[in-house]
Structure 1
Amino acid sequence: MTRPFLSTNAVSVTRPDTAATPIVVSVAHAGRIYPPELLAAARATRLELERLEDSWSDLIAARAGEAGASVVQALWARAVADCNRAEGQMAPGEVAPALRPQYSAPGRKERAGLGVVPTRLADVGPLWKRPIDRAALAWRLDSLHRPFHEALADALEGARRRHGHAILIDLHSMPSIPVGQAGHGARIVIGDRFGDTADGWLVDTVVTAAERLGVPVSRNQPYAGGHIIRSHGRPDRGVHAVQIEIDRSLYLRRDRSPDADKLGPLSDWFYGLLGDVARAWPGAVALPQAAE
């Protein structure tokens, strides 16, 4: 059984009645709440903004509490702010002139309009009626981005205090990887920033569990992990973090609605993965088996 111990209108944190494991699951892109202020500022339709979502990926983690894990989830939509981007990840051309000096050397995603505030989508164009100004940026960061990371940091620190270490599983979903892109054909991608955010025992355990689904699995290609695991994964301090990207065709229909026939088994698989991870910790003590 799980219970909420923190909930705002933008972020929810739940944990089991007994925090049986050091695992924290983060779900940053499944939020389906679109505040009125956001929709009023939008040039794009809500249906177009929903393309930013990792649609229904929170349902994959539906049994995480049964597995003894805490869950930190963004309830507000990714269109408000992308919690898997750092606050400085924006292209100067995507913000109002007064903000441009604070952004420099944008990467490929920022230049494509996918910074900490998403501003453009292919085949849609600009998402907002006006460039992001200082007030709009502050509202987005203060309402969603900062509360999410504060809640995640608190949950991980609580797990580390209770268990001596913490494990972050950052759950996302992805479109099918196109031909010509690194990792093409992979249906699940495990990211650990090329060894920076987790020790090998955790990554090996997650990869082995993913391979049991019988689909191609890639490590760090094309997604090595974003801001969430980069900022919270600290193996030297006992906090290990991996990002999991799951091909949406494994649990969604073509209209991006949940496919119950696929989603149930995938949720069961994720539940099992969390159990594998909890048992794989090198310092874990196996619980005694009940007599036959």
Structure 2
Amino acid sequence: MTVDLRIFTEPQQGATYDDLLAVARAAEDLGFGGFFRSDHYLHMSGDGGLGPTDAWTTLAGLARDTSAIRLGTLVTSATFRLPGPLSVQVAGVDQMSGGRVELGLGAGWFEAEHTAYGIPFPPVAERFDRLEEQLAVITGLWATAPGETFSYKGTHYPVVNSPGLTKPIQDGGVPIIIGGTGKRRTPSLAAAFAAEFNAAFHSAPTSGRLFKRVRAACEERGRDADELVYSAAQVVVLGNDEATLRRRARAIGREVDEVRSNGLAGSADEIVDKIGAFAEVGASRIYLQALDLSDLDHVEQIADGVLRQLR
């Protein structure tokens, strides 16, 4: 079994750039396939510590302060940024990284962070309309040939005669990741725009059902479903003894039994077996949500005990 493992962080819980850099460099040195971060402006538990950092600002820094690991968001909210400037921003970070960036983009869901920072929060149907237009604009701008212009008759984001600059340096543009549980629009958007579909924090059987919806949407669209990467995201707590498991679970405000039921908790061999269940339903990539950014030993032990077995 070969599975691409990536480290996934939640810095809105309170983390500085230096905290993120330490984990990103550890993940790179240890051989993980990627370092990803959420794009949120408000903590979801605790007191938020030092507060959030902006996703694309920190990724720009990491693009220069790392050299090989892939970088991206799970996921940027379409409510936070206009698609034209976002296309320039992401393309710029792609250039800064030497072509190592991926863009996870979603409709947005956390209303409290919008009200806390003065960001409009439309109803869900409008948020999905805006997401679809953003995907069309961003990919259209990146695909515009040099010397030509791009226009788009959108309801929310009309674009007129844009030069479509700045360009990513990756062939075909920055890979786009789409996830979610929607029965119709989410699979359709993934089939139309995504290089990867992500099932976040669901069981292996549920993830498999979500993958099948996307495959069916690709078939309806006439796209080869095997062109997409199918991935999952799961919280991870590794400990080869119960005391270590309890300590690491307490550090992130969780109970061991709960993480065992709803994530990846246990010894390295237990976690490998659980990842195998995701591989069986079609996942070739797993994002390991490492919530305690101060515990670099945890990342090292995941590499030694889990990553080593899945290469």
Taking structure 2 as the reference length, the TM-score comes to 0.28
Which structure carries more helix by proportion? 2
TM-score by length of 1: 0.30
